Chains A and B, each alone.
Chain A
Amino acid sequence: MGTVGKAPLDTQQATAGRARRRARKQSMVAEVWRKLKKNTWAVGSLIILCLLLILATFAPWLTPYDYRVQDYDSVLLPPGKGHIFGTDNFGRDIFSRVVYGSRYTVLIGFGCVTIAAFLGVVFGLISAYFPKLDNIIMRSMDLIIGMPTMSLLMLLIAVMGISITNLVIALCVTTIPGFARVTRAQALTIKHQEFIEAAVAMGASDARILLKHILPNSWAPIIVQYTLGAGQVVLSAASLSFIGMGIQAPTPEWGLMVSQGRVYLRSHWHMAIIPGLAIVLLTFVLNYLGDGLRDALDPRLNK
């Protein structure tokens, strides 16, 4: 091994190498953070998202009232002192219900998208890399995309029955094709680049090429799809709850709350509008954060 192999790899050198590598790992996170920080909208979105997560986690300590307690002395109060978001037709505090509701929404939103992203990315990578499986996988994805999302969701839930698990399954099924398509398209362009050929020529295995070369180069669109997908799932879950096929009363789910407030929309707008605004805010924040992350994660956009 020429001069290199003969040089003994003493422990001192090895320690130095390890330290350098650790420093690099940290600097990569720092790099992404440094770029993300410059994007005002993304930072704002991240802060709001963190606040929402804190609210969801610490709901029992942050809410002034029990979200279940009905108080018939204060029914349909407008937002103001005491009840900052007002009360609903049973006299329940809307602020407390919105805060508790964030638990369901966040859990369903991120839970579904995470499962769907994992499966979708796996499908996408496989169909891009193994042409024999491409048709089978992508045509089944087309089958799902071919149907209107809402009808398919309703169909699935009607068949499986109404429950939170089935809601999550149905939402996953409709979210997977988006990930599969995006991943496949990206992987196909990456697959034909010269550095993949170079990696093969260096003796890398299929799995290694997929996971170490193709996947890391496909992150950008997948992350965007993730945040967009999360927004969409939040909306779909709310819509299903709104039409009564999602989460059932008296659970304080945002979509369900909008649905219940709908009856009082003319006289007591706050009952529907406030949980509606919460849905809008979460969706909006997820989209902006996704855009920011995409830019920050791309080492080529180094400004």
Chain B
Amino acid sequence: MGDKLLEIDNLTVHYEVNNVVVEAVTGLSLDIDNGETIGLVGETGAGKTTTALAVLGLIPDPPGRVVGGEIRFEGQNLLGKSSRQMRSIRGSAISMVFQDPMTSLNPVIPVGDQIMEVILLHEKMSKAQAAVKAQQMLELVGIPANRYPEYPHQFSGGMKQRVMIACALACNPRLLIADEPTTALDVTIQAQVLELMGNLKREFDTAMLLITHDLGVVADICEKVAVMYAGTIVERGTVRNVYRFPRHPYTRGLFKSLPHLDVDTDRLTPIPGSMPDPSNLPPGCPFFPRCTFHTAECEAGRPGLVEVSPGHVVACFNIPEAPVEL
């Protein structure tokens, strides 16, 4: 366990469209230690990407606004930084890999130059030195350096994602945010890209926030996992703890809804109902309308995070007493 790299404290982000307030992230707290990999899982619209954008200071304003909370990176509050200071942090200290590699690269600039551009932005180097380093980065992600002058359309999806990873890691960031980096790729390429990210992360000693809705991916490469629901974290802990002994009713529902390899199922077991409208969250626990365990307490107030075992926290009033293995 290293020291804290990123501390998100009670973050609240609202989007305001036509006087309707959409509460995308509500009171989210999350810590990332140096060099650790944490998976952020949740359904579409749970606020995963908004959280990531908030860390980078990229919430589109208008309509978005960080209403409250603090984001501290190496002890400094990112929300208080000027746009110029944020620019120098983006890409060098914190960088991001986006979901769709097909559209994340500029189609009219050769891929090598795009990596070089990031290096030139953040490091004092001559163009020639940066070009050499860009070639090294290409090699590092498994692309021959002689493909430096080629354009994005000459690459496959998996290779483009490798280029994006090279861009993101070119300045040796301390935190890499990967927003569903493998969603747009097919399964075999997914495995390759994930393995590559895992290896590079270790090599560069970079912490990683992996945003995904694929529980399998998290199990593969993350040490910790945070489950998001309706803009807040409902359960957080090591992958081992959360996967073996999920305590929050939502997390349990998620795991129950997965098909099992050894059981012949005709129908999956979904969680009844759907996510609440973020512009009209229910009072109290956002999950109570779908929760089979809910009590009057759940409707009245929002549960805080309670530690059930070291490092494993759950936001629920009715945590099952004993950990039940699923």
Mark A residues whose CB is within 8 Å of B: 1-5, 7, 9, 13-18, 20-21, 23-24, 27, 193-195, 197-205, 208, 212-213, 216-217, 219, 299-300, 302
Contacts and interface: CB of A to CB of B under 8 A. Distances in A.
Contacts of A195: 103-107
Contacts of B121: 202-204, 208
Interface stretch (B14-22, B86-94, B313-321): B86-94
Interface stretch (B69-77, B127-135, B225-233): B127-135
24 contacts: A5-B172, A9-B133, A13-B132, A14-B126, A14-B129, A18-B127, A18-B131, A20-B149, A23-B149, A194-B99, A194-B103, A194-B104, A195-B103, A195-B107, A198-B105, A200-B58, A201-B56, A201-B58, A201-B96, A202-B95, A219-B108, A299-B107, A299-B153, A302-B153
Q: 8 tightest CB-CB pairs across the interface, nearest first?
A: A203-B91, A202-B91, A203-B90, A194-B103, A17-B131, A24-B149, A201-B96, A17-B132
Contact of A4 (B117, B126, B136): B136
Interface string B204-245: 110000000000000000000000000000000000000000
Contact of A2 (B100, B107, B153, B204): B204
B98 interface: yes
A17 B109 contact: no
B255 interface: no
Contacts of A201: 56, 58, 90-91, 95-96, 98
A74 B318 CA distance: 110
Contact of A198 (B87, B98, B172, B204): B98
Nearest to A301: B153
Interface secondary structure of A, over-half rule: helix
A24 B107 CA distance: 16
Contact of B136 (A7, A23, A197, A302): A7
Contacts of A18: 127-128, 131
B164 interface: yes
A216 B109 CA distance: 8
Contacts of A16: 132
B3 interface: no
Contact of B151 (A15, A203, A299): A299
B88 A203 contact: yes
A291 B91 CA distance: 38
Nearest to A11: B128
A195 B151 CA distance: 14
B167 interface: yes
Nearest to B109: A216
A21 B112 CA distance: 10
B159 to A, nearest CB: 16
Nearest to A201: B96
B93 to A, nearest CB: 9
Contact of B103 (A13, A15, A193, A302): A193
Contacts of B96: 198, 201
Interface in B46-94: 56, 58, 87-92
